Amino acid sequence: MSTIEAKKGRIRLPRRGRSTELAEGALACRDCGAAVRRPATVEKLHSYGRVRAFPNGARIVEDAQTEIRMTRCDACSARLARAEAITDEHPKVTKPLGSRSYALALVDAALTVFDALGLKPARAATLCRTDNDLRQMLDTLPAAGGRAWWVAKFLPVIEAGMDPKSCAPTRWGHLSPELEQNLRDSYAALLRVRMDKPMVIYPPDGRACLICGLGGVTGLRSHAEEIWGVERQVVAATVGGRGRPDPIKGYLCPDCSAIADEVGALGPTVMERSIADFLGARRSDQRFVEIDGIRAWAVLPKGTPPNKTRWAHEPNLEELAKDILTA
Ligand SMILES: [Zn+2]
Ligand SMILES: [Zn+2]
pLDDT at 4 over 60: no
Ligand nearest to the CA of 271: 2
pLDDT tier, 11 (very low <50, low <70, confident <90, very high otherwise): low
Percent of the chain with pLDDT over 70: 89
Distance 172 CA to ligand 2 centre (A): 53
Please name the helix (run of DSSP H) or strand (run of DSSP E) that holds residue 118, with its range, or none.
none
Length of the chain counted residue by residue: 327
Residues having C-beta closer than 5 Å to ion ligand 2 = 209, 211-212, 214, 253, 256
pTM (two decimals): 0.63
Distance 146 CA to ligand 1 centre (A): 13
Identify the CA nearest to 29 among candidates 47, 7, 45.
45
State the sign of the Cα–Cα–Cα–Cα dihedral 54, 57, 60, 62.
positive
301-326: per-residue pLDDT in tens? 988 999 999 999 988 777 776 776 67
Distance 311 CA to ligand 2 centre (A): 8
Ligand nearest to the CA of 167: 1
Residue 48's contacts (CB-CB under 8 Å, 6 or more residues apart) are 63, 64, 65, 156, 157
Residue 8's contacts (CB-CB under 8 Å, 6 or more residues apart) are none
Distance 66 CA to ligand 1 centre (A): 22
Please state, in angstroms and as integers, the Cα–Cα distance from residue 41 to each residue in 29, 79, 179, following that order: 10, 16, 27
Distance 149 CA to ligand 1 centre (A): 9
Distance 193 CA to ligand 2 centre (A): 28
Q: Which range, of 130-144, 201-215, 285-299, averages the lowest pLDDT? A: 285-299
Distance 327 CA to ligand 2 centre (A): 24
Distance 30 CA to ligand 1 centre (A): 7
Please name the helix (run of DSSP H) or strand (run of DSSP E) that holds residue 181, with its range, or none.
helix 177-195
Give the C-alpha separation, 27 to 318, whole Å. Answer: 76
Distance 107 CA to ligand 1 centre (A): 16
Distance 232 CA to ligand 2 centre (A): 12
Q: Give me the residues paired with residue 71 across strands.
A: 29
Distance 72 CA to ligand 1 centre (A): 5
Q: Give the start-to-end residue ranges of the domains of the chain.
A: 13-195, 200-326
71 vs 290, which has greater pLDDT?
Answer: 71
CA distance from start to end of the chain: 62
Identify the CA nearest to 291 among candidates 318, 268, 257.
268
Ligand nearest to the CA of 208: 2
Distance 226 CA to ligand 1 centre (A): 43
114-169: per-residue pLDDT in tens? 999 999 888 899 999 999 999 999 999 999 999 999 999 999 999 999 999 999 99
Evaluate whether 170 touches 17 at the Cβ level (below 8 Å). yes
Query: Strand order in 27-29's β-sheet?
Result: 35-36, 27-29, 59-71, 43-53, 157-158
Ligand nearest to the CA of 255: 2
31-71: per-residue pLDDT in tens? 999 999 999 999 999 999 999 999 998 999 999 899 999 99
Ligand nearest to the CA of 275: 2
Percent of the chain with pLDDT over 90: 69
220-238: per-residue pLDDT in tens? 877 888 899 999 999 998 8
Distance 253 CA to ligand 2 centre (A): 4
Give the C-alpha separation, 205 to 207, whole Å. Answer: 5
